[in-house]
Structure 1
Amino acid sequence: MRPADDEVMHFSEDPTITLFVPHVAATSAETEAYVWAVGHDRAPDYWFPRDTPRAMAWVRPETTPEDRDRIIGAGSGDRVHAVEYGALEQMRAVTLYGYRLPAAPFRPIGAAEHALVATEPVAPLGPPEPVGDLFALHEAAGIQLRVLPNLWPFWDQVVGSTLGFSGIRLRYAAARC
């Protein structure tokens, strides 16, 4: 589930949101109130229950063939997401919803432009759509989904590589080995 060209998306376990109102997220380093969303490329980062720690890596133009083969794997696509074993049951059980929002009020935030923000309330373009089976969604998108006993060894390899990467909710990950 990804947004169309004139849309952005917000993913939530709450199917009752009728208006997204700017707020300061408890987990954000930002002090300004925003409505948060993602575009097409970053939507897969949120195909997880909200508090699931995950480490993600993808091929960029500057990625070396050695890093791609070492971390993603030869012939294994261009993107990998990793979670810990403890996330599996929640990923099977969660009902996640995708809200389609108009793209016009949103602008990129941060140097990595990993997210989009709006400073005004934004109404969804329609009712939320159930995302469905999160494993099937990854498979259909050609994204590897790895299950690891601990995210930190993978994360350390990724951040020291030429791959693009993102880590979300890592504070909930198991302690470093």
Structure 2
Amino acid sequence: MRPAPDEVLHFSEDPTITRFVPHVAATARQPEAYVWAVDDARAPDYWFPRQCPRALAWVTPSTTAPDRASLGGPRVHAIEYGWLPAVQSVRLYAYRFAASSFRSFGSHAHAMVATSPVSPLGPPEPVGDLLALHEAAGIELRVMRNLWGFVDAVSASSLGFSGIRLRNARPRPSELQR
């Protein structure tokens, strides 16, 4: 599930939204209200249940040869075993918007934002089988007992990386021993 040229997507488990109004997200680090969406490059970051913690890593032009080899492919997503049933059963929907209503957010353009209410270009589309989407896109999906070793390794490397909803991940192994 990818946006067409000149489109961005918003993924949701709610198929009944008819108008998106800017709001300040509960986890926001900024006080401004936005409607959030993603472009083609970042759409796979959201092929998950909303609350699912995930760590994402990909090769960039500045990735070193050893880091490229350690990743084992151009892009890897990782989740914890406890979230696999939700990934397999969630009903996720994609809302399409005109990209012209959005602007890049932040210096790395990890997301697109609108500051005015926006309406989707049409009804939401079922995203379908999330595991099949990963496979078709050539993205390796790793299922792990705990995400933190992967997060620490990729964040210290020359790979591109992102962590989403990591507050929902299992505690670090060192925190379990306390």
Aligned to 2:32: 32
Aligned to 1:158: 154
Taking only the aligned residue pairs, the percentage that are identical comes to: 67
Aligned to 1:14: 14
- Where do 5+ consecutive residues of structure 1 fail to align? none
Normalising to structure 1: TM-score of the pair? 0.96
Describe how 1:69-88 pairs up with structure 2 within 5 A: 69-70=69-70, 72-73=71-72, 76=73, 78-88=74-84
Q: Does 1:129 align with 2:129?
A: no
Aligned to 1:167: 163
Q: What is the CA–CA distance in structure 2 between the aligned matches of 1:81 and 1:100, rounded to whole Å?
A: 23
Normalising to structure 2: TM-score of the pair? 0.96
After the TM superposition, list the runs of 4 or more consecutive aligned residues in structure 1 that deviate by more than 3 angstroms.
none
Aligned to 1:148: 144
SS, match of residue 2 in structure 1: coil
Q: Does 1:95 align with 2:81?
A: no
Aligned to 2:176: none
Q: What is the CA–CA distance in structure 2 between the aligned matches of 1:112 and 1:29, rounded to whole Å?
A: 16
1:38-67 Cα offsets, whole Å, 9 max, x none, are 000000000000000000000000001100
User: How big is the alpha-carbon RMSD for the aligned residues of Structure 1 and Structure 2?
Assistant: 0.6
Residue 113 of structure 1 and its aligned partner are, at CA, apart by: 1.1
Size of the aligned set, in residue pairs, is 173
1:125-173 Cα offsets, whole Å, 9 max, x none, are 0000000000000000000000000000000000000000110000010
- Which AA in structure 2 matches 1:111? S
- Where do 5+ consecutive residues of structure 2 fail to align? 174-178
Residue 106 of structure 1 and its aligned partner are, at CA, apart by: 0.5
